Amino acid sequence: MKDVGYSVEVIELYMNKVNVGMVRNPDTDLAYTGPCGDTMKIYLKINNDAVVEDAKFQYLGCPGVASSGSAMTRIVKGKTLEEAKRITEHDILQELGGLPKSKLHCLKLAVTTLKKAIAKYENRKGRPS
């Protein structure tokens, strides 16, 4: 993996499957398929209607998607919903210590999946997202 340009952090997240799986009784979950055909499904547990207590994800795709999901779920845990909505592709890229150029769009899949899951939660609560 190093030979194709993945960072040590990406390889570690991918090999250890960090936050890969499902959250029990999630407050919101959402699957999203990006233009490349890769899919991510996110599960969020939201405490007191305000703070992301737990976040896990499943994916169908490459190490770029997997590591982006791991970094995104790691970053979002402990954040308020408002903070979570402000997470950017750049934040995930920093956590990953870089990604090969051909995999930069994987960051967008992770951010979009997160934002759509939060929007689904807020819509259900009758709040504008």
Q: Which stretch in 25-33, 42-50, 61-69, 113-121 sits in contact with ligand FES by CB under 6 A? A: 61-69
65 binds ligand FES (CB under 6 A): yes
Alpha helices in the chain (DSSP H): 8-16, 63-76, 81-85, 89-96, 105-124
User: 26 or 64: whose CB is closer to ligand FES?
Assistant: 64
Stretch that binds ligand FES, among 21-29, 33-41, 47-55, 118-126 (CB under 6 A): 33-41
> Which residues have a Cβ under 8 Å from the Cβ of 83 and sit 6 or more positions away?
none
Any idea which residue has 């407050």 for tokens? 27
**Binding of ligand FES at residue 34 (CB under 6 A)?**
yes
Does residue 44 belong to the site contacting ligand FES (CB under 6 A)? no
**Given candidates 19, 46, 61, 114, which one binds ligand FES under the rule CB under 6 A?**
61
The answer to whether residue 103 forms part of the interface with ligand FES (CB under 6 A) is: yes
C-beta pairs of 32-35 under 8 Å, 24+ apart in sequence? 32/109, 32/112, 32/113, 32/116, 34/105, 34/108, 34/109, 34/112, 35/105
Residues that bind ligand FES (CB under 6 A): 34, 36, 38, 61-62, 64-65, 103, 105-106, 109
